[in-house]
Amino acid sequence: MMSLSRRNILKLLGGLAAGAAVSGCAVKVEDTTEDEPAPETPPAEAAPEAASEAAKPAAGAYKCSKCGYVYDPAKVDPPTPFADLPDDWKCPKCGAPKSRYKPVE
């Protein structure tokens, strides 16, 4: 059996309510939080350090000047330095050419 998150259930019910409104029926949708556990939050002192380390690209990273995609050689498999990419390589997000990339400082 597949379990649905609260958000997906509300989207589904909202869609049903919209369809019912078109057909002239009335549907009542209630938002309850009885069965949903509270989200876990990381310790306050560890969160800023972890977030800044995760957001910071590794040395040798390049950023697309068109869409902002960051090519980080440490996050691709196999790890490939930007300079070793073929000249016809394109941005995986927007298709911009390799020449549109600038080093991340």
Q: Which of 33, 49, 104 is nearest to 75 (CA)?
A: 104
Question: pLDDT of 23-67, one tens digit each?
Answer: 566 656 566 656 666 667 666 555 555 555 556 666 789 999 999
DSSP reduced 3-state for 74: helix
Reported pTM:
0.47
Which range marks the domain in which residue 67 is found? 57-103
Could you give the number of structural domains in the chain? Answer: 2
DSSP 29-57: -----SSPPPPP---TTTHHHHHHHHHSP
d(CA 101, CA 69): 9
- Rg of the chain in Å (alpha carbons): 23
CATH at residue 83 = 2.20.28.10
Question: pLDDT of 69-103, one tens digit each?
Answer: 999 999 988 999 999 999 999 999 999 999 999 99
47 is a domain residue:
no
